[in-house]
């Protein structure tokens, strides 16, 4: 049974750290944007176990003309649950919240090895690949919501 709901920022830290930044201190998985006005976090639970998380914050990317934009950050899914739809459900849940807020676009800086995943969720590449130290190559991805 999969349950998707809003969660507290602190609930995302363990997955963020273990999946996205395992070779960095835990503090590297805690972002200033986690507690900013308008930020929210979504988790997918499988029989009560948190298996996927993502965070969403009102952060403007100056490359986009819209003032109504949000950034998707720190999406992480436990390895054994990938390709089962949990991440998709987390993003769909968040998009429904953002559409109620009249947010026009959602963007992220994704690792290049998951670019295809974001494309399957309806995101499109924006710009060129760039290095995001100390993690490695990333690409900006964007999705129109309205």
State how far the Cα of 111 lies from the Cα of 129, in Å rounded to an integer. Answer: 9
Nearest alpha carbon to residue 84 among 108, 117, 122: 117
Nearest alpha carbon to residue 92 among 64, 58, 54: 54
Q: Enumerate domains of the chain plus CATH numbers.
A: 2-144 (3.40.630.30)
Q: What is the pLDDT of residue 139?
A: 96
Cα dihedral 93, 94, 98, 104 sign:
negative
Q: Mind listing the pLDDT tens digit of every residue in the chain (146 residues)? A: 899 999 999 999 999 999 999 999 999 999 999 999 999 999 999 999 999 999 999 999 999 999 999 999 999 999 999 989 999 999 999 999 999 999 999 999 999 999 999 999 999 999 999 998 888 999 999 999 98
- What are residue 101's phi and psi, to 5 degrees? -85, 5
Q: What is the pLDDT of residue 133?
A: 87
State how far the Cα of 53 lies from the Cα of 97, in Å rounded to an integer. Answer: 15
User: 92: helix, coil or strand?
Assistant: helix
Question: Are the C-beta atoms of 77 and 51 separated by less than 8 Å?
Answer: yes
Q: What is the pLDDT of residue 87?
A: 96
Question: Are the C-beta atoms of 80 and 87 separated by less than 8 Å?
Answer: no
Q: What is the pLDDT of residue 134?
A: 85
Burial label for 22, CB within 10 Å (0-12, 13-18, 19+), is exposed
């Amino acid at each position: 049974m999969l349950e998707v709901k809003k969660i507290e920022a602190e609930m995302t830290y363990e997955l963020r750290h273990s999946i996205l930044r395992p070779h960095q201190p835990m503090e590297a998985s805690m972002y200033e944007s986690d507690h900013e006005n308008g930020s929210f976090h979504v988790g997918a639970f499988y029989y009560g176990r948190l298996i996927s998380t993502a965070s969403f914050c009102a952060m403007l990317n100056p490359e986009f003309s819209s003032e109504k934009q949000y950034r998707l950050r720190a999406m992480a899914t436990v390895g054994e649950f990938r390709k089962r739809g949990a991440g998709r459900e987390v993003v769909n849940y968040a998009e429904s919240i953002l559409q109620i807020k009249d947010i026009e676009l959602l963007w992220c800086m994704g690792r290049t090895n998951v670019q295809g995943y974001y494309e399957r969720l309806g995101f499109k590449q924006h710009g060129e690949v760039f290095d995001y130290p100390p993690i490695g190559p990333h690409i900006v991805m964007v999705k129109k919501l309205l």
